[in-house]
Copies of this chain bind each other. A is one copy, B any other.
Amino acid sequence: MKEYKEIQVALLGLGTVGLGVYKVLQMQKEEMQHKIGTEIKIKKILVRNLEKAAGKIEDASVLTDSWQEIVNDDEIQIVIEVMGGMEPARTYIMEAMQAGKQVVTANKDLIAADGKELMDQAKKSGCDLLFEAAVAGAIPIIRPLKQCLAGNHLSEIMGIVNGTTNFILTKMAQDGMEFEEALALATELGYAEADPTADIEGLDAGRKVAIMASIAFNSRVTFDDVYTEGITKITASDIRYAKETGSVIKLLGVARNTPEGIEVRVHPMLIPERHPLASVNDSFNAVFVHGDAVDDAMFYGRGAGELPTASAVVGDIFDIARNLQYECCGRISCTCYKQLPIKAMDDICSKYFLRMLVENEPGVLAAVTAVFGDRKVSIEQIIQKKKIGELAEIVVITEKVKERHVKDSLKAFEEMTAVKKVSSVIRVYGE
């Protein structure tokens, strides 16, 4: 065992998360010595704009705009990357590990794309590369998956892992807002970024589900493997109709380990109101897990925000501080020891909710059901909702069918004059 009066660290970035980490470490100043047997001291903070950053913290002398000053400083033992984005974050993390430093990162983009290379380097350097904050912010999920649930074959992960879209869908459900209105509110309240694409198109959620799937199924899944579909087409009507069937609509990241390969996707989904994920509202996140021993489990909390994200980062820093003292860094490394195939989206089976505008004439329903039937799509329910002039709106809920067969049916409807429009195609959770 090695004793340290203090452990010196460097923070890369002083944005929302960086400032959060700075604050939480201050809030824990009196506790650290007791909790982890040493003190964490921020020796350097890397920023782009020294002047702007100086206004944010008490002691501006720790600020630097030179990475070399950090990577070449042998006293700095932990590098905390909270700058985000691919480069230069990737290079800095690689160089930090090559220099024998431990790394904490909150960077989901990077881990979801280059997790393998980074973990390989961590192994080579015998160092820790922890990233609890990269998935679902404050929610403990990486450590539970890697350690607490290690005695499981995990078969399913399902998560609400994007707070912006969950806030939007909650507003649409609770206040009857349309998507655009709810998005405007999210922007106004600071839940959505100026360019909300990564959130509303499901890309952010896709990165998180790739990381979780890799850990849960012990096989590398990258962001490129993930099918993503956002919530821009969801309407207040869809949500109302879903409610009539006892369901809510959520943007879910779904990963399943099946005998034919890993399914990994992000899309809106109808889930029953009684499902634990259904009551996860506003900007909260939650991850639902199923395994052969644990059965069902769920982890719920804040998916983003200054202090919540810092909570996860500081948990990782404290853990590394213990590892440094016990000289056991690298104790938990990459757990992707399998090479499972990724299942093509066309081969995935799901139930579907479809909303269609058809001519209100005898024989049209029969023609629609025939199209489905000819393409192996069994129908569970078909409901005529309302008449709009000469047209009728119908809602179809299918049995569990292959994605490709639904696509084939949709293609056929395009050719049918009696079908004016297929307004919504949303997957439905369940057997």
By size class, the interface of chain A is: 35 or more
Taking CB atoms, residues of chain B closer than 8 Å to A335 are: 34-35
Question: Do A308 and B327 contact each other (CB < 8 Å), given the known contacts A34-B218, A148-B140?
Answer: no
Which residue in B151, B276, B294, B311 is a CB contact (below 8 Å) of A152? B311
Q: Are B34's CB and A318's CB within 8 A?
A: no
Taking CB atoms, residues of chain B closer than 8 Å to A383 are: none
Q: Are B319's CB and A323's CB within 8 A?
A: no
Task: Assess whether A353 is interfacial by the CB under 8 Å rule.
Answer: no
Q: Are A311's CB and B337's CB within 8 A?
A: no
Interface readout for A335-359 with B: 1 if CB under 8 Å, 0 if not? 1011000000000000000000000
Q: Are B300's CB and A147's CB within 8 A?
A: no
Interface readout for A148-162 with B: 1 if CB under 8 Å, 0 if not? 111111000000000
Docked pose: A154 CA to B335 CA in angstroms = 31
Task: Assess whether A295 is interfacial by the CB under 8 Å rule.
Answer: yes
Distance in Å from the Cβ of A385 to the closest Cβ of chain B?
Answer: 29
Interface readout for A377-393 with B: 1 if CB under 8 Å, 0 if not? 00000000000000000
Q: Are B138's CB and A294's CB within 8 A?
A: yes
Q: Are B143's CB and A314's CB within 8 A?
A: no
Taking CB atoms, residues of chain B closer than 8 Å to A338 are: 34
Which residue in B139, B295, B300, B319 is a CB contact (below 8 Å) of A276? B300
Q: Are B319's CB and A293's CB within 8 A?
A: no
Question: Do A302 and B298 contact each other (CB < 8 Å), given the known contacts A151-B311, A315-B149, A337-B34?
Answer: no
Q: Are B293's CB and A311's CB within 8 A?
A: yes
Question: Do A24 and B301 contact each other (CB < 8 Å), given the known contacts A294-B138, A322-B331, A326-B331?
Answer: no
Which residue in B139, B311, B319 is a CB contact (below 8 Å) of A291? B311
Which residue in B144, B153, B307, B319 is a CB contact (below 8 Å) of A27? B153
Q: Are A305's CB and B312's CB within 8 A?
A: no
Distance in Å from the Cβ of A27 to the closest Cβ of chain B?
Answer: 6
Docked pose: A310 CA to B291 CA in angstroms = 12
Taking CB atoms, residues of chain B closer than 8 Å to A317 are: 151
Taking CB atoms, residues of chain B closer than 8 Å to A36 are: 150
* A40-65 with Cβ < 8 A to chain B: none
Question: Do A302 and B294 contact each other (CB < 8 Å), given the known contacts A34-B218, A140-B140, A332-B322?
Answer: yes
Q: Are B307's CB and A297's CB within 8 A?
A: no
Task: Assess whether A364 is interfacial by the CB under 8 Å rule.
Answer: no
Task: Assess whether A244 is interfacial by the CB under 8 Å rule.
Answer: no
Question: Do A293 and B307 contact each other (CB < 8 Å), given the known contacts A147-B315, A147-B319?
Answer: yes
Interface readout for A67-103 with B: 1 if CB under 8 Å, 0 if not? 0000000000000000000000000000000000000
Task: Assess whether A296 is interfacial by the CB under 8 Å rule.
Answer: yes
For residue A141, which residue of chain B has the nearest CB? Answer: B148
With A139-B297, A294-B302, A326-B328 given, name 19 new contacts (CB 8 A): A27-B151, A27-B293, A31-B218, A34-B218, A34-B335, A34-B337, A35-B150, A140-B140, A143-B148, A144-B144, A147-B315, A149-B315, A150-B318, A151-B311, A151-B314, A279-B279, A295-B301, A295-B307, A296-B301
